[in-house]
Amino acid sequence: MANFNIDAKKDMVYDAIVIGSGISGGWAAKELCEKGLKTLVLERGRIVEHVKDYPTMNLDPWDSELRGVLTPEQRKKHQVSIRSNWVSTDTAHFWADDEANPYTEVKPFLWLRAHQMGGRSLLWGKQTYRWCDLDFEANSKDGHGVDWPMRYKDIDPWYTYVEKYAGISGEPLGLPQLPDSHFLPPMKLNCVEKHVKSRIEKEFDGRHLIIGRCAHLTVPHNGRGQCQYRNRCSRGCPYGAYFSSNSVTLPAAHATGKLTIRPFSIVQSIIYDEAKGKATGVRIIDAETNEDIEYSAKVIFCNASTLSTTQILLNSKSNRFENGFGNDSGELGHNLMDHTYRVGAMGKVEGFDDKYYKGRRPNGIYIPRYWNIDDKTKNDKFLRGFGFQGGGYRGGNAANSENFGTDFKESILKPGPWEFFITGFAECLPYHDNQVSLNTDVLDKWGQPTLAIDSEFKENERAANKQIKEDAVEMLQKSGLKDIIGFDNEHPPGYAVHEMGTARMGLDPKTSVLNGFNQVHAAKNVFVTDGACMTSSSCVNPSLTYMAITARAANHAVSELKKMNL
Amino acid sequence: MDRRSVLKKTGLVAGATVAMPTLLSLLQSCWNEPRLTWKPEFFTKEEATTIGTLVEMILPRTDTPGALDVKVDVFIDRVISQTYDQEGQQNIRNEITTFNNRCKEKFGTNFASLDVSERVEVLKAEEKSTGKFNPGIWGITIGDQEPIGFYRSMKSMAIWAYFTSEVIGEQVLSYDPIPGSYEPCKPLSEVGNRWSL
């Protein structure tokens, strides 16, 4: 697979334009192309072809001169993303240029971006969990935000559809709060994880410890190879063993012959035709030549990533939409959510010193939500719920030993002590005042307005975090761990990289931007199916839901096109 | 014994990096101030000698290579030269000076010129007086990190540089670039040393 068609035609009306090629954009492209639509994908960065453009995928530490350490120039270029501590020379080429793409933190917010074909689907954590009706009904039940215009039964078949294609490994549990996916065989727990599992499940009614459900192939699937347990995923996987747009959806779209993907295409705005009452295309700036170009299409899918999609909509002003495209409700840019993260506990595990593992499993454990599921599990201190991710491994920090010299050197050649940690991810409520707006005082490299992000965790999130820390410490204590440390690093939003909302779906055009099929209420040929569309945030990772929502919306778009409704 | 004559007799001249352990210990007994055999990018000769002596004290040659065998000192110099900003570089410089000053106060000369037992005494004191690293998960340091101090920072850097060197990574530690599967609970005896990757 190679040689994407990058020759976009200015004078042609495409059936569909997809803005962005990350997790949701890749799915939009695949679905629309496979249903016969001539589709133009606009990607603001470069082409990244599967395998061919993964320069670091096989490098050992000693193969690079600085063994992963960034130079001052690289740190300047990635001044935002390095705050995550995930950027090294192994992956720096997949992270956005933060200098060229500034944003303003009215309150601290880590906005991690990846500007190339495939976007963050190359770098994501690959944890994949279905949402449930607790999630889709949450707003309606406790009155925060607006009701979702869909329920679990509406998205259930689309979960199955995308799971069968993407390949999700995991173990079925039959829990209502964490519906099972269509699974490939699960990865394995190691002996320490099994030990902690048995203790937690014995000590705490209703709590489960399971292997993470993830978009890694544990068996060959749809022509892709299975995981080789190298844990070098973020450099790009030569086996195609984890789901990315580059390895899965874009090659499928390309295979139809219907796909054009234009790189270096920064979408400036969506063009609205007042007479027709719909969008007719998009304006782009060529990132390399600064040329302004317009492309036309019958339907437009916005998949630029949560905040970039909203930035484009806010910047798409017209007589009809003075405050941003489809913003009759005034909700565009509002109700930004993320998950809390980096709060939990860790400790040492004794009794397994003669055990080790082989292979670097790119996955950990998961403890599904157990609070506020029913009357019995009601917690008065906070609304909604949280789950934990974590894992057991042999770690330790040899430098902390107070020894040195011959015996010390020999000792550190052996694996360190077993450690086990869990870190919670709590659902965040949709608050109107957690918002982004266009900032015309700070322009990007191409002279475009940038985003000002004004968002914070509030009382409910802090209460959930308090419970997370208490529960985490208690679970590790009852599992018999030693040297337990509870922690709450009190990070600002953005660090979980689950930013959601700002163009929410809803039943009422007066209080939401999108309808139940992700169409802009006031311009039904424009669909938003990335994280911007989310009406609430659940406590589980959102990417699988983006995939399912996108496939469902694309199906609807094609059906409506055929009925001449768009 | 005169250092130069030992060097001549053993053929261990500038640029030679491999010496038999017995020869090395012979040299160490009379060679209080090692001579630098490489050209640093950032360090002065004296600083490089301090760092080289320090990392070899922490990770000495045994029947497995020591820190200097795998050029830990050369790599530390390169990392500081190419990845530290000016302020960070100046800090390191100051800290090496302070470290040597402590040695001078106690024993009258800088670290590299001390005999081995004096160096051990210095490092034992450093171990007691410098901070420890907080644990971390997924690259995140947990809690508020107290200042680490020069000695433990350098020890940490030395261990990292040692483990990520090709010889240690491929031949001393257990090396398996493409495991192919995950075996969750193996007897440690079947693996041996820690995995390098």
What is the greatest pairwise CA distance in chain A?
82
Quick one: pLDDT at residue A313? 98
Quick one: pLDDT at residue B23? 40
The counts of H helices and E strands in chain B are 9, 3
Quick one: pLDDT at residue B4? 38
Residues 182-201 of A with CB under 8 A from B: 187-191, 193-194
Q: How many domains does chain B have?
A: 1
Nearest CA in chain B to A238: B178
User: Which of B78, B137, B179 faces A359 most closely, judged by CB atoms?
Assistant: B179
Indicate yes or no: CB of A358 within 8 angstroms of CB of B182: yes
> What Cα–Cα distance (Å) separates residue A391 from each residue in A420, A476, B22?
6, 12, 45
What is the greatest pairwise CA distance in chain B?
57
User: Which of B78, B83, B178 faces A72 most closely, judged by CB atoms?
Assistant: B83
B178 contact residues in A (CB cutoff 8 A): 228, 230
Reported as a pLDDT band with limits 50, 70 and 90, residue A489 is: confident
Quick one: pLDDT at residue B143? 81
pLDDT at A188 over 50: yes
Q: What is the 3-class SS of A11-62, one letter each residue?
A: CCEEEEEEECCCHHHHHHHHHHHHCCCCEEEECCCECCCCCCCCCCCCCCHH
A218 contact residues in B (CB cutoff 8 A): none
Where do the DSSP E strands lie in A185-264?
210-211, 259-262
In Å, how far from its chain's centre is CA B75? 10
Tokens of A132: 């449930």
Indicate yes or no: CB of B142 within 8 angstroms of CB of A361: no
Quick one: pLDDT at residue B33? 54
Give the count of beta carbons closer than 10 Å to the beta carbon of residue B90.
11
Residue A376 is given by DSSP the state G
In Å, how far from its chain's centre is CA A252? 21
Average pLDDT (A221-245) is 98
Examine residue B195 and state whether it is found in any structural domain, yes or no.
no
Contacts of A447 (CB under 8 A, 6+ apart): none
In Å, how far from its chain's centre is CA A52? 24
In Å, how far from its chain's centre is CA B43? 15
Residue A76 Cα, gap to closest chain B Cα (Å): 11
A286-305 tens-digit pLDDT = 999 999 999 999 999 999 99
pLDDT at A230 over 70: yes
Indicate yes or no: CB of B183 within 8 angstroms of CB of A359: yes
Indicate yes or no: CB of A400 within 8 angstroms of CB of B132: yes
Q: Which of B69, B140, B145 is the best substitution to test chain A (most A C-beta atoms within 10 A)? A: B140
**Which of residues A555 and B33 earns the better pLDDT score?**
A555
Nearest CA in chain B to A406: B60
Quick one: pLDDT at residue B10? 35
Quick one: pLDDT at residue B19? 37
A101-148 tens-digit pLDDT = 999 999 999 999 999 999 999 999 999 999 999 999 999 999 999 999
Best CA proximity match to B148, nearest among B140, B136, B156: B156
Provide the number of CB pairs (under 8 Å) joining chain A to chain B: 166
In Å, how far from its chain's centre is CA A27? 14
Quick one: pLDDT at residue B15? 34
Residue A160 is given by DSSP the state H
Examine residue B196 and state whether it is found in any structural domain, yes or no.
no
Where do the DSSP E strands lie in A197-291?
210-211, 259-262, 265-273, 278-286
A249-280 tens-digit pLDDT = 999 999 999 999 999 999 999 999 999 999 99
A394-428 tens-digit pLDDT = 999 999 999 999 999 999 999 999 999 999 999 99
Quick one: pLDDT at residue B137? 85
SS3 A135: helix
Task: Calculate the average pLDDT of chain A.
Answer: 97
With 0-12 / 13-18 / 19 or more C-beta atoms within 10 angstroms meaning exposed / middle / buried, residue A311 is: buried
> B115 lies in which domain range?
3-175+182-190
B170 contact residues in A (CB cutoff 8 A): 60
Indicate yes or no: CB of A409 within 8 angstroms of CB of B64: yes
Nearest CA in chain B to A63: B166
Place of tokens 């990289």: A497
CA dihedral A320, A322, A326, A332 (to 10 degrees): -170
Examine residue B18 and state whether it is found in any structural domain, yes or no.
yes
CA dihedral (B29, B35, B37, B41) positive or negative: positive
Q: Which ipTM did the prediction report?
A: 0.94
H or E stretch covering B160: helix B150-163
User: Which of B85, B142, B182 faces A485 most closely, judged by CB atoms?
Assistant: B142
User: Which of B155, B164, B184 faces A67 most closely, judged by CB atoms?
Assistant: B164
Nearest CA in chain A to B176: A359
Residue B177 Cα, gap to closest chain A Cα (Å): 7
Average pLDDT (A480-501) is 95
Quick one: pLDDT at residue B36? 87
Residues 116-145 of A with CB under 8 A from B: none
SS3 A265: strand
Where do the DSSP E strands lie in A106-173?
168-169
B195 contact residues in A (CB cutoff 8 A): 358, 360, 415
In contact, A545 and A155? CB cutoff 8 Å? yes
The counts of H helices and E strands in chain A are 11, 20
A65 contact residues in B (CB cutoff 8 A): 78
Q: Which of B154, B182, B186 is the best substitution to test chain A (most A C-beta atoms within 10 A)? A: B182
In Å, how far from its chain's centre is CA A527? 19
pLDDT digit string (tens) for chain B, length 197 residues: 343 333 333 333 333 333 334 444 444 444 445 678 899 999 999 999 999 999 999 999 999 999 999 999 999 999 999 999 999 999 999 999 999 999 999 999 999 999 999 999 999 999 999 999 999 888 788 888 899 999 999 999 999 999 999 999 999 999 999 999 999 999 999 999 999 99
Residues 327-386 of A with CB under 8 A from B: 342, 346, 353-361
**Which of residues B16 and A508 earns the better pLDDT score?**
A508
User: Which of A58, A342, A415 faces B140 most closely, judged by CB atoms?
Assistant: A342
In contact, A135 and A536? CB cutoff 8 Å? yes
pLDDT at A90 over 80: yes
Average pLDDT (A472-497) is 96
User: Which of A190, A410, A415 faces B184 most closely, judged by CB atoms?
Assistant: A190
In contact, A485 and B135? CB cutoff 8 Å? yes
User: Which of A70, A85, A399 faces B140 most closely, judged by CB atoms?
Assistant: A85
Place of tokens 């690959």: A126
Indicate yes or no: CB of A62 within 8 angstroms of CB of B166: yes
Average pLDDT (A43-67) is 97
User: Which of A230, A353, A410 faces B178 most closely, judged by CB atoms?
Assistant: A230
Q: How far apart are CA A448 and CA A324, in angstroms?
A: 15
